Chains A and B, each alone.
Chain A
Amino acid sequence: MVDPKPAAVSRRRLLTGTLAGGAALAGGGVLSGCSTRQDVRRHDTADPWRQFAGCTLNFVSENTAPTSAIAAEAQRFTELTGIHINIVTLELSALVQKVALDLASGQSQYQVLYADSYQVLAPYAEGLVDLREPAGDPSLPGETSRFDEFVPLQMDVSGRFGDGERVLALPYDCATMIWQYRKDLFETYHERMAADLGFDPTPGPQRTWEEYFRIAKWFNDNVDEVAYGTGHQAKQHDSLMCDFSNVLFAHGGQYFPDGERVGRYGAVDPGACQLDSDAALEAAEFYRRLLSVADPASRTWDWTGVGAAFAAGRVAMCPNWHEFAADNERALPGKVGYAALPSGPVKSANMYGGAGIAINGNTAPNERKAAWLFLNWATSRRTQLRNLTGEVGGATPTLSSIYQLPEVRSAQQRPTDMPTMLTAPAVQRAWQPEYSGMRPKIPMWSECDTAIYTELSRMLAGDATSAQAMRDTTKQVDRIVSRGWVAAR
């Protein structure tokens, strides 16, 4: 006798099968390896730049000035190499997600990555190509000695991670926090201010943070042209940590023991958090006091917010990234001055926030070499100079030698068609080790950063005292660090 419904499946079996299949897919990570990519073809040619002609590279970057400039020049790269380059620009957090998910896929949809030192380089160092390998390949243009041409601090912070000699990225973007002030107002009121305050108010690292506080207060009380003396990027955001860190380092505080090394080279296990030290408590208390005389809107501003307020003439001065110089010159032509930040009891610290350009470790061998050609071209002297002078402009060179060129040196004075270069004396000083400030380069920095700026925000909102905020931050950071970095373990 024949079963009339031999192929029928019970409902329970169907459900069980679906669940089992789901579990298998979820547990086995089958999703990550569904397809394989082919490597690009290498051609036999006498021109080493054209050996990968015809291939396409994808570059994912934060929407920063250097990438806008590179995008405007991308056609030149294609003409030189025959390689097509697609550039995707995103806001930083979206970029970090793209990079993380691309690395998780085991593929390399994006062969060239914008490597933010703290959110890409440190957490995913193991997923990036050691650039000494393509730089040492005699079949490719470029050589390892080229690494020495970059500004040394930038090469270490943006290009290296840990104690090794590996070079994981080339310095590409070099945002640095400096003192931005209304030069016209400082000149107009110089004598009066000096007489009232009892010191020369000219901005620079010879000023102290305490003097900065008094200058800000003086502007609040005596000048009608601006609403407030100082503005800050004190929103509950990464910007708050950056703004506070300048004060912290100046007071001799640090996030972890051997903070200079952890900031410059990075570490996986940085040790116990030092934010409950006396220096850190003093810095936090000063920062709270400084914000009490700053524009109250500072608590809602990130770097863009304070930059817009400064350009709108609302505040007389602010610490901000040097890249805002172009906006300042557009809004207040000839009226803005730039200097290194004031000193604390220990030093003048200027937060460095640069990033590198790296190659995805999932790339196939030839694809990797093609990506190196792009890195090499994008950070070359000629391209950097063109990015500085081109129509899009706005980028700041990362090669030391460019700053010695006569046209670049003359652009540091007004009138100039390279407004970012007006900040060159200040930022070049800020890149010296004794003036630099570097946040910890650790894989779990994003979570530590969130804990730090949240507690600082509590302090500024009056929900916690400065000492309480620092002690709570210390406990949270220690907890986060002790959990370790899971995603790339």
Chain B
Amino acid sequence: MTTDTESPTTAARSADPAPPRRRIGFTGRMMAPGIALLAALTVLPFVTIVVMSFSEVHLLGGLSLDFAGLSNWARFFTDPEMGWFWLRTALYFVLTLGLEMVLGVLLALCVWRLIRGRNLVLSMLLLPMFVAPVLVGLLGRFLVDPTIGLYSWLLEQLGYGGDVLGGTFSAFAAVVAMDVWEWTPLIALITLAGLTSVPLPLREAAALDGAGRWQTLRHIVLPSISNVLLVALLIRAMDAIRYFDIIWVTTNGGPANATKIVPVRLYETAFRFFDFGYAAVIGLAMLLASIVIARTFVRMLDRKGLAR
């Protein structure tokens, strides 16, 4: 036999008068203009893109939208090329981030060890970071130009006769290298900031306990700066997923689509083919990927109690 009983807590709760509905008070009203501006800058474009993803977008005689149902989304999931673009993006993402983290930490450790001339070395190290990505692309293109490029000439002296941007593998490696060259200094800078905060007594204690350099690095230094590294990873990850300039300037996505990643495809779809409906779908997919990556890192930070 079963009987329906109401738990005392529930009963007590239902007996309470309904809580007052929360309203926006004075503070909220003061913040309203700012929030409205923020909404105009974020909510409006977002809603527009969602609407566009379900529409055919016409340009002539003023922007107009025709409802297209799920056709743009269906095309996204059946586009034979799209899977390759995402795969290439993922590979590019892992390679650039991985190399930048490893090289950035190594460089930071070297600079950290420097006693004399640290500021000078650090200043020189940071220079690539201040160059606009499009200029990095142009610089890279000139350096590997087979007619006038310094790197091409050096590679030729070393016995590499091919054209760097002409081969599928070498072109991909080249654009990865250009990004790594530009952004490794940022990781080094952030890491260096973390390294300077590693407590000296802790390192001295480790040294007294007989810890070698590798052991100190592995058990004292790296755990101490792991939070900083995570922040660096988050910053670079958000940037790497929308990488565009260098590829557009150097290879245009080629050869044989070897360097065509999703942002390049998005740009092409929107601003070469003017197919804004389909471009909106690709853009939303990129947004989703960014959110997933960002959430992953934020959750990791949260676990360490650093997100708030």
Contacts and interface: CB of A to CB of B under 8 A. Distances in A.
B245 to A, nearest CB: 14
Given A296-B146, A299-B255, A5 B167 contact: no
Most interface-central of B145, B146, B254, B258 (chain A CB within 10 A):
B254
A106 interface: yes
Interface residues of B, number: 54
Contacts of A8: 23-25
Nearest to A105: B62
Contact of A314 (B39, B57, B147, B167): B147
A457 B272 contact: no
Contacts of A444: 273
Nearest to B148: A312
B43 interface: yes
A297 B256 contact: no
Given A457-B255, A486-B58, A487-B274, A296 B52 contact: no
A236 B252 contact: yes
Give the secondary structure class of A's interface.
helix
A93 B249 CA distance: 13
A126 interface: yes
Nearest to B23: A8
B257 A457 contact: yes
A243 B268 CA distance: 21
B201 interface: no
A124 interface: yes
Given A23-B51, A97-B271, A458-B257, A486 B56 contact: yes
Contacts of A298: 166
Contacts of A104: 59-60, 62-63
Nearest to B56: A486
B59 A300 contact: no
Interface of A: 5, 8-11, 14, 18-19, 21-23, 25-27, 29, 31-33, 93, 96-97, 100-101, 103-106, 123-124, 126-127, 235-237, 295-300, 305, 308-309, 312, 314, 361-362, 444, 446-447, 450, 454, 457-458, 460-461, 463, 486-489
5 contacts: A22-B48, A25-B44, A26-B48, A296-B166, A444-B273
Interface of B: 21-25, 28, 32, 35-36, 39, 43-44, 46-48, 51-52, 56-65, 145-148, 161-163, 165-168, 251-258, 268, 271-277
Given A26-B44, A446-B274, A447-B273, 10 more contacts: A5-B25, A22-B39, A26-B47, A31-B63, A101-B59, A104-B63, A236-B255, A297-B145, A361-B61, A486-B274
Which 3 residue pairs spanning A and B have beta carbons closest together? A236-B254, A106-B62, A22-B47
